[in-house]
Chains A and B, each alone.
Chain A
């Protein structure tokens, strides 16, 4: 089936791009000022440990061999040791990854759905107050500076009103309590997620609203809408069943195109709210010169973006029968 071939093709593309990135990073770290050893090996390590690590990472070998060892290490999950935490980098990454995915995915889905819904309504009431309000609202929220918005929300809702926690993902009391069940812990995480999620949501939904709105206006001019009307369908049914599914397709494309932008926002949000995700880890590892961790975080983020792109493309192919068949 066409769809399967399409997915296979895209997956190969993702793998190729990832390899290119992997290689570029390898070269980058070799080009950097300072020698690779000081980059990858913690200066505070003992001499024996350092030597073991050097052999493992192949830092004593010629560059060609180094490259192969580097790739091999990547597949076996061996990224070295974090200078700052003193733990294997791969453990830290695995620990942080789910948190980022949770926040990132939820925010995108939420903003896309709300954006599409409101955009549909705005196009409905084109030219009237509701439309102007929504359009201006979308414009203004979309252009707010994310870190600043985050700070304002923390100030107002966290500090002044005290409604929501302003940092971290969990409250220790809840998680250390042996009697706390899964639900109590889940609620705790969600409680902490409200402000960061709201920040990301506010910044992103506006774009989707505007796109859906103009897409609806275009779609409503199409001939098949006239046909639907001629068939005797109610306006509401026409808009929801005939126009909206067509109009929503460009929004899906737009989600895919703005993934890089979204992940920037994700990293900023994690940093301000000290949400323990990969974005925040990247920022802090860079400021602490923790090279192995920084490198791995970046790779992981690149992977997340590539995979999300793939998911969005496949979703689009599934939704638009013209691609599937």
Chain B
């Protein structure tokens, strides 16, 4: 295990984009961690409720407020840091949930075959067609304002089909292998075969997909918040964009408009680059090779 990890690492290191992605992600992670610092220094830096007594409107960057303040006098930098925290939380939880779902369903479909397989894959097809964002919109119309965790759950529920297809394919090819036959002969139950024998072989692929799931979850939450349907108790980058747009400060406050958008785009980019680099590690065919005869 360790040997293959080290080998993977050396291949990863050669990939420039992967390294940049990793560095950027570490910066964002640091931002998320640091989000607890400003309110601790002074309550006026609290992203949601912190109001600087001296300022009650939009101000450009200054020494007190490194990125300036929004229309209510709240510090933009602390909002940005809090947004990083939310982004990771949303992205990773939604990704993990959808991967867990996708892997379980994919393995079950591939292993059980026939009726179960057809049923599950038809379901996957139908869900895949749905535009996640608009579904959440409709649900919030019917059920009222949704909390951030509900949003995360719904995103996960609509994102598993993509993963499950690939995992199902892998399971189908693994099913034929001798070691599965051996396990069956030894009397292992279906459940055991799926989770103890097939799953470890299928996980690396699943991890790869996780990076792409994270980005789509972050973007969906950001778009929702942007439209005004996010959780009003959380400060996310999408929420920040909503505020700057709806309060009409778009044209006057670039220090407010630019940072959240740049952050969303950059975090998406870095996860993508990381995912591509991991793709190269896992799939030998993608590595750069010189041609031999």
On A, residues with C-beta under 8 Å from B are 17, 20-21, 28-29, 32-33, 139-140, 142-149, 151-152, 154-155, 159, 259-261, 263-264, 267-268, 271-272, 279, 282-283, 285-287, 289, 291, 294-295, 298, 301-302, 305-306, 309
Contact = CB atoms under 8 A, between A and B. Distances in A.
Interface string B113-139: 000000000000110111111100111
Given A267-B134, A301-B134, A145 B142 contact: no
A294 B261 contact: no
A267 B133 contact: yes
B133 A302 contact: no
B130 A260 contact: yes
A132 to B, nearest CB: 10
B264 A145 contact: yes
B137 to A, nearest CB: 5
B141 A147 contact: no
Given A147-B241, A309-B129, 6 more contacts: A143-B266, A261-B131, A267-B131, A289-B141, A291-B141, A291-B142
Nearest to B220: A264
Contacts, number: 115
Contacts of B251: 155, 159
A258 B220 CA distance: 14
A260 B272 contact: no
Contact of A286 (B131, B132, B137, B268): B137
The B interface is mostly helix, strand or loop, or mixed, namely helix
23 contacts: A29-B142, A32-B142, A139-B272, A143-B215, A143-B265, A145-B264, A148-B257, A148-B260, A148-B264, A149-B261, A151-B261, A260-B130, A260-B131, A263-B131, A264-B131, A267-B133, A268-B227, A289-B141, A291-B142, A301-B131, A305-B130, A305-B131, A306-B129
| B128, B141, B227, B257: most-surrounded residue (chain A CB, <10 A) | B141
Contacts of B215: 143
Nearest to A148: B261
Nearest to B17: A139
A195 B130 CA distance: 26
Interface of B: 17, 125-126, 128-134, 137-144, 215, 219-220, 222-223, 226-229, 241, 245, 250-251, 257, 260-261, 264-266, 268-269, 272-273
A151 B262 CA distance: 12
A17 B129 contact: yes
B142 A264 contact: no
A138 B54 CA distance: 45
B134 A263 contact: yes
Contacts of A261: 131
Contacts of A259: 129
Nearest to B226: A147
Nearest to A263: B131
A119 to B, nearest CB: 16
